[in-house]
Amino acid sequence: MVSGKDFKMKISTIIPYVLNEDLETEFFFSQWEYSNRKICIVKIICDNGIVGWGEAYGPAPVVKESINYIKQNIIGMNPLESDVIWSTLFRRVHDYGRSGVFVSAISAIDIALWDIKGKYHKLPVSTLLGGSYREKIRPYATGLYFSDSKTLTDDLCNEALEYVNEGFKSIKMKVGLNLKDDISNVKAVRNAIGPDIELMIDSNHAYSYDEALKLSKKLEDQDIKWFEEPLSPEFYDQYSDFKSKSLIPVAAGECEYLRYGFQKLLDKNCVDFLQMDICSCGGLTEAKRISALSSTKGVKVIPHTWGSGIAFYTAINFISNLEPIPGRLYKEDAYIEYDRTENKIRENIIKDNIIMKDGYISVNDKPGLGVDVDETYLNEIKI
Ligand code: MG
């Protein structure tokens, strides 16, 4: 019998990096302001020269140290045995890292292992996950953040129209400033983009149950596709009750970790859309398990996607493999979140630009994640 151990391939080196960018224009959302962006990525080198890349979602300098802390447990292991490696890492942090940065650290390593597996087998990660159900994915624009501008409402409308002109058919805007401004801003943006463009709102858990329900009621005639993180992620019972009362569908999951966390969201019927971040929920290995759980409840998966082109193409490979539920001849579009805020790292760290054509992004067919990391640029911006 041939086992994975017969393939003479070993993990030699694991190097996490923090990429740093100071933004030209500060912006903020319901929780804090952004003037700087830091992203943790990881490079794994094998003894046969194959290199894999992964990315974490979370506080980059802390995740980097978490990767450095756990990496010695898997040096010398066979990167093709990614389930075994995942379990080895999880057991090492189980007692104190069942959520948060240690899970993000595991996620980054796991993604890099899938990149290595794809390069070894000369197949895209989507094929290794079980195959691609689609050739193109529909990006939705994430933007419309807050600023100190005195003409914020007009600025938001103009920004939304730019996305429409670029070909986006779906746009997500921030709420969570206060109920009064949120209501008027959402109505103004809906009026500006017209009825044919999808609009989503995201409060980043800014509101109490009563406030969130009030906002939902006030906006229920605005044809909102989903209300993202209306409530704090700990309040599963409130989510469940909110979902039963809100006519606007509910989305959440970017603050949740591992299949055990997502099972709570699903068992309590908290969401209509499940939004795990592959770079923090436990990587591609765990995201696949979470999507299997989600399929048992008929809940749609649209991952939260942030960070660099490595995270973006991780999501492209994963989303292309998401089973269409319900099945039918003319399939619904699969969605990918496409952050449009200032982010030079996103496109510059990979050599091939992300291309949107006629409102869609093609599923790549290159081996691994399909990204070619620009290490000259990496060395310029790493700290
Ligand atoms: Mg969000």
- On the question of a cis peptide bond just before residue 230, with omega within 30 degrees of 0, the verdict is no
Distance 304 CA to ligand 1 centre (A): 7
pLDDT digits (tens, 9 = 90+) for 1-42: 555 555 679 999 999 999 999 999 999 999 999 999 999 999
Q: What is the DSSP letter of 71?
A: G
Domain stops at, among 123, 148, 180: 123
Which pLDDT belongs to residue 347? Answer: 87
Task: State how far the Cα of 155 lies from the Cα of 158, in Å rounded to an integer.
Answer: 5
Task: State how far the Cα of 378 lies from the Cα of 49, in Å rounded to an integer.
Answer: 19
Distance 201 CA to ligand 1 centre (A): 9
Which pLDDT belongs to residue 5? Answer: 58
Domain stops at, among 105, 123, 141: 123
Non-local (6+) Cβ contacts of 199 within 8 A are 170, 171, 172, 173, 186, 189, 190, 193, 222, 223, 224, 225
Taking Cα atoms as reference points, which of 52, 62, 40 lies closest to residue 14?
52
Which pLDDT belongs to residue 8? Answer: 78
Distance 87 CA to ligand 1 centre (A): 28
* Sign (positive or negative) of CA dihedral 96, 98, 103, 109: positive
CATH number of the domain encompassing residue 155:
3.20.20.120
- Active-site positions read 304
Shared domain for 130 and 230, answered yes or no, is yes
Number of domains composing the chain: 2
Non-local (6+) Cβ contacts of 38 within 8 A are 18, 19, 20, 21, 59, 60, 61, 383
- DSSP output for 263-280: HHHHHTT--SEE--BTTT
Distance 174 CA to ligand 1 centre (A): 8
Domain enclosing residue 29, as ranges:
4-123
Distance 202 CA to ligand 1 centre (A): 6
Shared domain for 168 and 281, answered yes or no, is yes
Shared domain for 268 and 298, answered yes or no, is yes
Which pLDDT belongs to residue 226? Answer: 98
Q: Are 293 and 301 in contact (CB under 8 A)?
A: no
Which pLDDT belongs to residue 340? Answer: 96
Distance 141 CA to ligand 1 centre (A): 12
Q: Which residues of the chain have pLDDT under 70?
A: 1-7
Shared domain for 212 and 139, answered yes or no, is yes
Distance 254 CA to ligand 1 centre (A): 7
Distance 288 CA to ligand 1 centre (A): 20
Shared domain for 226 and 142, answered yes or no, is yes
Shared domain for 100 and 150, answered yes or no, is no
pLDDT digits (tens, 9 = 90+) for 230-287: 999 999 999 999 999 999 999 999 999 999 999 999 999 999 999 999 999 999 999 9
Task: State how far the Cα of 78 lies from the Cα of 85, in Å rounded to an integer.
Answer: 8
Shared domain for 357 and 208, answered yes or no, is yes
Q: Is 11 exposed, middle or buried (0-12, 13-18, 19+ CB in 10 A)?
A: buried
Shared domain for 184 and 220, answered yes or no, is yes
Task: State how far the Cα of 246 lies from the Cα of 153, in Å rounded to an integer.
Answer: 25
Distance 228 CA to ligand 1 centre (A): 6
Question: Parallel, antiparallel, or unpaired for β 11-28 and 250-252?
Answer: unpaired
H/E stretch holding 10: none
381 belongs to a structural domain: no
Shared domain for 177 and 262, answered yes or no, is yes
